[in-house]
Amino acid sequence: MHEDGVFDGMVAASYDDDDAISAPEVVDPIVDLLVDLAEGGRALEFAIGTGRLALPLAQRGVEVEGVELSRAMVSRLRAKEGGDTLPVAIGDMATIHVDGRFSLVYLAFNTINNLITQDAQIACFQNAAAHLGPGGFFLVEVGVPPLQRLSVGETILAFACSDTRWGIDAYDVVSQNFSSHHIWLQDGSYRQLTVPFRYVWPAELDLMARLADMELRHRWGGWKKEPFTSVSDKHVSVWQKT
């Protein structure tokens, strides 16, 4: 699991500035789906971050708790309206225990990839199941590994290129590990950040769920329940505790 320093003050301070993940038209469909899956019960967000999803979910009447490794991200959450009322446990989402049982545990925006070994990802599924009541749901949003875009022998894909920001992902197709390299030009100086990840296939996640006594109930291509197809670049999957 990433150390707190990866998502330090610099990253936390600008995390909500990205409209691609924080704009109302992005967040609202996510919250709508989470409200439906919670079915009036309690929700637990693994990697709650700055409260991008948890705060509007709580405003919709769902009792929300969170788990987060980065204290800098939690500090940003606490500074927001209502952020000081949400219970947040500091620790690793693969191992930490929160009291009580939940109707929904969810993990959004590729965060399952932050666990950089298969064993840690399996442990995350098992930990989610341990927090669910009978019939509860575990939801994961994650990208589909983009290996179809790699030519044979290639390992590099660019994901950002502008006058002030550059980004590339470097893939190891043997270990399923990859690193995202970010470079920013800010106030005349360059800043660089490298974050390690492990990509994971949908079928692999389904097996992890089975190991945790959960079964696949839904797999969509997005938060609006778009069909998941061979060209989907991400999926929103929901497993139910059996």
Residues 98 and 159 both lie in one domain: no
d(CA 110, CA 30): 14
Give CA separation, 178 vs 41, 67, 114, 155, 196, in Å: 36, 24, 10, 9, 6
Residues 152 and 130 both lie in one domain: no
Residues 176 and 119 both lie in one domain: no
Number of domains in the chain: 2
What mean pLDDT comes out for the span 125-140? Answer: 98
φ, ψ dihedrals at 91, nearest 5°: 165, -175
Residues 59 and 127 both lie in one domain: yes
pLDDT score for 3: 46
Residues 71 and 127 both lie in one domain: yes
pLDDT digits (tens, 9 = 90+) for 93-131: 999 999 999 999 999 999 999 999 999 999 999 999 999
pLDDT digits (tens, 9 = 90+) for 54-106: 999 999 999 999 999 999 999 999 999 999 999 999 999 999 999 999 999 99
What confidence category does residue 20 fall into, taking pLDDT thresholds of 50, 70 and 90?
confident
Extract the runs of DSSP E, i.e. beta strands, from 41-85: 43-46, 64-68
Structure tokens at 113: 């990839």
To the question of pTM greater than 0.85 for the whole model, the response is: yes
- Which strand ranges, in their side-by-side order, compose the sheet holding 177-186? 156-161, 165-172, 177-186, 189-198
Residues 183 and 236 both lie in one domain: no
Question: In terms of Cα–Cα distance, which of 214, 60, 27, 29 is closest to 139?
Answer: 214
Mean pLDDT of the chain: 94
pLDDT digits (tens, 9 = 90+) for 141-177: 999 999 999 999 999 999 999 999 999 999 999 999 9
Structure tokens at 32: 């709508």
- Does pLDDT of 4 surpass 70? no
d(CA 100, CA 12): 29
Residues 164 and 62 both lie in one domain: no
Is the backbone of residue 207 left (phi > 0), alpha (psi -120 to 50) or beta? Answer: alpha
d(CA 110, CA 235): 10
Residues 69 and 115 both lie in one domain: yes
What confidence category does residue 9 fall into, taking pLDDT thresholds of 50, 70 and 90?
low
pLDDT score for 12: 65
| Boundaries of domain holding 206 | 4-144+200-241
Proportion of the chain above pLDDT 90, given as a percent: 89
Q: Give the domain CATH number at 164.
A: 2.20.25
